[in-house]
Structure 1
Amino acid sequence: MAVTAAKSVMAFRVLTMAVDLCRLTTRTMNVNAGHERTSKARIIHQIQLIRGITQLLSSASVVVARH
């Protein structure tokens, strides 16, 4: 149950970050271009971290289910 809840929370965070990333990429370049690039890099990094955690949780739940 905890694994399912954790996956839901992470999925929501990824969705939120994906929306933020989409907003940043569709916005026209302006004076804050450097800040936007930094924000994109931060969001992409967080998504990659969460993807790795999700893969670990998925493999752990498979191992637990087998026992």
Structure 2
Amino acid sequence: MSILKVIEVLANSDKSWEDATRKAVAQASKSVKNIRSVYINEQSATVKDGELDNFRVNVKITFEVK
């Protein structure tokens, strides 16, 4: 039986929601090991001059505790 833990991480990107998600996982992996999955809980974006400016994600990252 595995013990899993979930943390919530906020991240942003000027490129895409996918890039923001990658940044969240990359940052979390600096201090959290054994990451198993990521769930995109929420997405949002800011608008500047009628264009999407900044993509934001709220993700839940699941990792195994050993």
Q: TM-score, normalised by structure 2?
A: 0.29
**Of Structure 1 and Structure 2, which has the larger fraction of its residues in helix?**
1
User: Going by fraction, where is strand more abundant, 1 or 2?
Assistant: 2
Which structure has the larger Rg over C-alpha atoms?
A: 1
